[in-house]
Amino acid sequence: MKVEIRRAFALGLLLLPLLVGCPHSPVPNGEQAASSGGAPSVGGTPSTGGTPLAGGTPSTSGTSAQPATNEATSAQGLKEWSRGIHRLGQGWHPATSAVVVVHQMPLLFTRQLAMGADGNHSIDGLIERLSKILEEGGSNLSNVVRINAYGSPADEVATFVNRLPELLPPGSAPVVTAVETPLSEASEKLAIDVVAAVDGEGSEGVRKSASAGGGPLAPADYSVAPSERLVFLSGRPEKGEIAEAAQASLKWQLALASELDCQPQDVAQIRVFLAKMEDAPVVLEAIRAAFAGQPVPPVSFVNWIASAPVEIEMIACRSATAKDKAEVAGSLQLYNPPGVKPSPNFSRAAVLASSTVIFTAGFVARKDGDGAAQTRDAFNQLVEALGDVGSDLRHGAKAHYFVSDDDAAKAIDVLRREYLDPSRPPAASKAKVAGVGRAGRSVVIDCIAVPAAR
């Protein structure tokens, strides 16, 4: 009798994970683990845990990341990822992820693609154009990692994001950050830029496409760079007349890049925060001049509400022969140049030495509240998402903080000091914009990180 009881007890222990669910069980590569809140597999109908851009109330289950696909945990407690793209958790928008982890794959960065100029004034045309660019660069729609969606009015962005389930292949849910902003062409209502993983080994340095339509000095459609040598450069606002301010910002960025073994040909993407979008042609001219004799990197524009007319940030890549600047800090070095007083809120640059790169969704608050309450909730979701994939804010490489009012802007500055290690904050950009992609919200936070070393 005792033997039978022991057998029954042992059988019960074996069956218990099946009865209650085993949230840490891996699922096949390219699929998404179901969340405890009932989040669907990628490409399915969004559950109550995934909230569309326009309207609706997020469930109490939130948007935390779910366990990794095709990964294992080493004896040291570190995640061991298989080569490929791992999509985890339910993002805020239909058919999007909370976190995407890319392991041992080069990354492709596009320029800002506008629905009118690039998509023949339709969302379907925009995706068709994106697909062609990705294929030219050795990628495809199934490999999309991040989508940044920009536009005005907000309904234009909402329509695009809510159509993602039909626009992208099943199993390819990216992370998404949506921002309401006027575009550089006043007639344009919607634009996107994209990060995608590239099949194959890639190249030793940055590979850029031929220039987009607009002549040899137009920005490239895309660039491809090895993920393990990426460098993220925080922007610096510059005041004065727009042409001189743009030139000063570019000079600062390229000098900082040079300190980190990155030359102009190693710049993979430029993002411009611009107070007056009609100044975009002037800034583009300054960019062309700064890269004289070199292909112009992909460029994106965001309208920010600020006294400074312009801030320019960059993503670059160290050369294959460069000294490993990150070797003293493991997979990530956060850098401030000599003579510049470090800030507890952001580092001037982040230097990667990791073949694993983590991209989070743009997190917004799950319920109404003032700027502090919303910012705290967005940070809490970010911390949880990073923790679920073996990272943390000390290993954040690049953060974006978009706010739509002064209350949220002040809260970001205060709470960064609470959530971040002041000795190693990520490179970052904070921009006040017209909206953060969701009615009733005033802050959205996203992050690029590397695994934590324990």
Positions in the chain short of pLDDT 50? 1-70, 74-77, 325-329
Range of the domain at 118: 65-449
pLDDT of residue 217: 65
Task: Pick the closest to residue 152 from 401, 453, 436 (CA basis).
Answer: 436
pLDDT of residue 13: 38
Identify whether 285 is part of a domain. Answer: yes
The total of structural domains in the chain comes to 1
Q: What is the reported pTM?
A: 0.84
Identify whether 413 is part of a domain. Answer: yes
pLDDT of residue 56: 33
Identify whether 43 is part of a domain. Answer: no
Identify whether 252 is part of a domain. Answer: yes
Q: Model confidence over 175-221: pLDDT tens digits?
A: 999 999 999 998 999 999 999 999 987 677 899 987 655 555 689 99
Please answer whether residues 109 and 298 qualify as being in contact, where contact means their C-beta atoms are separated by less than 8 angstroms. Answer: yes
Rg over CA atoms, the chain? 22
Identify whether 379 is part of a domain. Answer: yes
Local structure of 102: helix, strand or coil: strand
Residue whose structure tokens are 């099943």: 170
pLDDT of residue 80: 82
Q: Model confidence over 53-69: pLDDT tens digits?
A: 333 333 323 333 333 34
pLDDT of residue 257: 97
pLDDT of residue 76: 43
Identify whether 260 is part of a domain. Answer: yes
pLDDT of residue 423: 96
pLDDT of residue 7: 44
Identify whether 25 is part of a domain. Answer: no
Other CB atoms within a 10 A radius of the CB of residue 55 amount to 11
CATH number where 232 lies:
3.30.1330.40
In degrees and rounded to multiples of 5, residue 55 shows phi and psi of: 75, 180
Identify whether 172 is part of a domain. Answer: yes
